[in-house]
Chains A and B, each alone.
Chain A
Amino acid sequence: NAGVMQNPRHLVRRRGQEARLRCSPMKGHSHVYWYRQLPEEGLKFMVYLQKENIIDESGMPKERFSAEFPKEGPSILRIQQVVRGDSAAYFCASSAGATSGKLFFGSGTQLSVL
């Protein structure tokens, strides 16, 4: 029973390029969350999705960031026209149900913007 799978583990982009981060939840989980962690800081909530729906995107920057969780395939966090300040660890987590507070995290994607 594979856990939450994120790829790539490390992603290097130049300023202005696009970054696409992928997350496959645990088998049987239909709730996906994205968090961002800057160096020496805690995890910041970005977005919560269920299959084909964005439930809460209150933590997403208004521009350049988008997320989706299609019916088939992984959840994607997309960052357009990356800037140096986007450099961070991006963690995806999944849960089994809407009322569960137990999150299972992936290993994260470390994004470095040159």
Chain B
Amino acid sequence: RKEVEQDPGPFNVPEGATVAFNCTYSNSASQSFFWYRQDCRKEPKLLMSVYSSGNEDGRFTAQLNRASQYISLLIRDSKLSDSATYLCVVNIEAQKLVFGQGTRLTINP
């Protein structure tokens, strides 16, 4: 089983729609969780951290379910500029961050 698993997609949704994707992780001792965004093979950039109580940043909401070992990302009122690959990232141990394969999202006009 992979340490971090994501549905690679692609997800194709119309502009303005709400879209959500999940990510599962295998190590129950994982401490920290993040969502990164990667555009067109450019460098990944931190989108948001994921906190135990769930957190929101504008149109983006991240949640953590420790019991089921998954995190989720919800994007509301999607924009064309949200088209990207979203990477689920888990801090497995010390400083080792493990990246999921990524979920490709395309927002259509």
Contacts and interface: CB of A to CB of B under 8 A. Distances in A.
B46 interface: yes
A43 B102 CA distance: 9
Contacts, number: 56
A33 B97 CA distance: 9
B32 interface: yes
B100 A48 contact: no
A31 B96 CA distance: 12
A54 to B, nearest CB: 12
B49 interface: yes
A28 to B, nearest CB: 17
Contacts of A2: none
A66 to B, nearest CB: 19
A91 B42 CA distance: 9
B43 A45 contact: no
A69 B48 CA distance: 28
A108 interface: yes
Interface in A38-59: 41-45, 48, 55-56, 58
